[in-house]
Structure 1
Amino acid sequence: MKVLIVCTNHNTYPTKTGKTGLWLSELTHFYDLMTARRVLVDIVSPNGGAIPVDERSMDLKDEINQKYLTDPVFLSKFENSLKPSDIEAREYRLIYFTGGNGGMWDFPDNTELQNITRRIYENNGMVTAVCHGVSGLLNVQLSDGNFLIQDKYVTGFSHVEETLMSFVSEVPFHLEDRLKERGAHYTKAMIPFVEFIEMDERLITGQNPNSARKVASKALEELFEK
């Protein structure tokens, strides 16, 4: 069984000097659970190549982060991510969009990633995403012309969480608002930054970085136990 993890290539903010990119634990925690179940994992990004990491997410007290930053197999995939044109969608049972602010710039309008997502979903596969990675689902249209997330229950990084992180003026749009505009039923935890996921048939979304592991465990449950 193969799953495809999508990471950003975008690393700059409009005015802040700090670098954005992937939120590291949203990749490592998901990857850790998948590989523990002997699932084959490929990493893709809009342009391929190396994945930038948001400076604020380089938490080496996190044992899972530490484990994979010294894992040669992981690092090879991470530093040499595939391009969308390398991907044959029918080989994958699941696609997962990681977060980090960077994805808000290079996920939503990438038609190649949209097509891969549509084909996996319509081939009875699962679509999953966490935090800002949910922005990658905003413009995915199914073959019937409807948007994937229309009338679906989804979550994603909330406006409150964005405000508390003090980056609300830097992001290109507010994810919570966009999801609602797209016709999704947006839900969130009562308390910011606590683990929270939403599932609607073969669509699983997580609210924030602390939800990545739960997205993975729920996806594995669906893949292996149904």
Structure 2
Amino acid sequence: MTGRILHVVTNVGHYDDPEHPTGLWLSELTHAWEVFAEHGFEQTIVSPAGGPVPLEPRALKFPNIDRTAKRWLGGLERMALLERTASPDEIDASEFDAVYFTGGHAVMYDFPDSAGLQRIAREIFESGGVVSSVCHGYCGLLNTRLSDGSLLISGRCMTGFSWREEKLARVDRLVPYDAEAEAKRRGARYTRAALPFVPFTVSDGNLVTGQNPGSAKATARAVVARLAQIRSAQ
């Protein structure tokens, strides 16, 4: 399959308290990237401000890091992609088949109110493409409105990092808001796995979402499957 995927990453490097660093949860990018590459997709990375992307320190330590993420860390070419990400105004949404919002707690700060990211998601969705997210990536969809003024996630089934998982990760006092509650408040039909931190993905038409870091591969595969369905129907 040929086509193009747009990955969305953060530019934020810490919580409200600068003494607590955060950033991109690297495996959420690398796992999906690997799946899309296996299916022949061209891939581009964008961030709200463009430029460098900080990495979540906890994602780079055992047991969170794996061979895929290590390969990125050890590759100058791949790491360079995270030093020169595109800004939204450089992106023509019509050139992409799907957008994939990565996570890490940092995205809770710079994803929700990015007009550029909202434009990209809206244009891809309304042109019949796939909008997807994993973990906290759904924060980038909280305020995204379609051309008719309705919220993209309103009335649609979806998932994302749960409040229960925030508590178990011991960051519930650091995060700026409860993303699960905010999604529900906007009319999303939020659901989650029975157990925390297990892979869980929800597809509702052209909206595909994954609950946590362990869901990245399954989410990417669901995006690929949905794109195949779209193409077969054309």
Shorter-chain TM-score: which interval? over 0.9
Tell me what 1:90 maps to. Answer: 94
1:29 aligns to 2:52 (yes or no): no
The aligned runs of 1:164-183 (5 Å cut-off) are 164-183=168-187
Instruction: Output the amino acid matched with 1:31.
Output: W
Separation in 1, partners of 2:27, 2:226: 22
Q: CA deviation at 1:17?
A: 1.7
Note if 1:100 corresponds to 2:104.
yes
One of 18, 21, 26 as aligned partner of 2:20: 18
Mapped to 1, the partners of 2:142 and 2:17 lie a distance apart of 25
Look up the match of 2:190: 186
Gapped regions of structure 2 (runs ≥ 5): none
Matching of residue 3 in structure 1 with residue 28 in structure 2: no
How far apart in 2 are the matches of 1:70 and 1:125? 33
Q: CA RMSD in A?
A: 1.2
1:12-42 alpha-carbon deviations (Å, 9 max, x no partner): 1223623101111101000111112221000
Map 1:48-87; keep pairs closer than 5 Å. 48-59=50-61, 62-87=66-91
Whether the aligned pair in 2 keeps the contact of 1:16 and 1:170 (CA below 8 Å) is no
C-alpha separation between the residues in 2 aligned to 1:76 and 1:38? 21
Identity of aligned residues (%): 42
1:200 to 197, 200, 204: 204
- Aligned ranges 1:35-50 → 2 under 5 Å: 35-50=37-52
Q: Which amino acid aligns with 1:40?
A: E
Distance 1:186 1:90 in 2: 29
Tell me the secondary structure at the aligned position of residue 42 of structure 1.
strand
Look up the match of 2:113.
109
Distance 2:17 2:67 in 1: 32
1:74 deviates by 2.2
- Alpha-carbon separation, structure 1, partners of 2:78 and 2:225: 23
Between Structure 1 and Structure 2, how many residues are aligned? 226
Q: Is the 8 A contact 1:130 1:207 kept in 2?
A: yes
Unaligned runs of 5+ in 1: none
Q: Could you tell me how far apart the structure 2 residues matched to 1:222 and 1:131 are?
A: 19
Q: Could you state the TM-score of these two structures normalised by the residue count of structure 1?
A: 0.97
Q: Evaluate the alpha carbon distance shift between residue 34 and residue 72 of structure 1 in structure 2; reply closer, same or farther with a 3 A threshold.
A: farther
What amino acid is the match of 1:164?
L
Distance in 1, matches of 2:45 and 2:225, equals: 21
* Matched-pair contact (CA < 8 Å) for 2:5–2:42: yes
The answer on whether the counterparts of 1:153 and 1:200 sit within 8 Å (CA) in structure 2 is yes
2:196 is the alignment partner of 1:220? no
The equivalent residue for 1:135 is 139
61-70 vs 17-26, greater mean Cα deviation: 61-70
What CA distance in whole angstroms lies between the structure 2 residues aligned with 1:39 and 1:224? 12
Residue type of the alignment partner of 1:160: R
Displaced runs of 4 or more, over 6 A: none
93-102 or 15-24: bigger deviation:
15-24
User: 2-side partners of 1:141 and 1:74: how far apart?
Assistant: 33
Once the 2 structures are TM-superposed, how far is the Cα of residue 137 of structure 1 from its aligned partner? 0.3
Decide whether the 8 Å contact of 1:8 with 1:102 is kept in 2.
yes
Matches within 5 A, 1:143-158: 143-158=147-162
